[in-house]
Structure 1
Amino acid sequence: MEITPAETSGTGTIRTPAVFRNEEVTEITRPREDIWFEVLCPARMTPDVTATLQRALIARGYLQGPADGIYDERTRAAVATLQARKGYPGKGLSLAAARALGLVVTPAPDTGPA
């Protein structure tokens, strides 16, 4: 955005250059969308479950280092990367991602009345 125009002499030489300012404009490009997805219950994220998650992430190349059972920043980052690459919503461990990693039993399809 131009703040002050340039001043020129009668011969067309610039005496004082124009002054500009950058402005950021936030624009909504699409309406907000609520996304709901199932997550693994935090109470179930024991050190043993976390270590199993870490081993699964290490085996798939998402995590480096030991499976120490601590849900720390490196584990959160690995989960977020997995979620993004696989197209799962959110950055936290979704139930769909946990199932894909083999951490949660996938329910059998309903075959109708027994």
Structure 2
Amino acid sequence: RTELLQESDNTISHLQEENWQEPDINDRATLETDAALELRTRDRYRKLVNKIDKALARIADGTYGYCDDTGEEIGVSRLEARPIATLTIEAQEKHERLEKQHRDD
């Protein structure tokens, strides 16, 4: 969590220091592409930190390791692979199928 937050701070600092007045259009395009990538990465980090915080809250309130949809225990192997998991594999697969159906409609 701390590393992710530090990385986000580094991204902000880097973007603030960048010379956005590059005279060459190709250099400027490269800078903008790099900045967009950094911002997407930072957004992923922010979302991951949020999920980590939620997992820590679930540990504190005793609901960690139980599926949000079914209330069943989430398998240890799944939690080891993805500690922020909130659904059993079956519930996650069902959720993904429903999402895909809605996208296809």
- TM-score for both structures, normalised by structure 2: 0.26
Bigger Rg, which one: 1
Higher helix share: 2
RCO higher in structure (CA 8 A, sep ≥6): 2
Higher strand share: 1
- TM-score for both structures, normalised by structure 1: 0.24
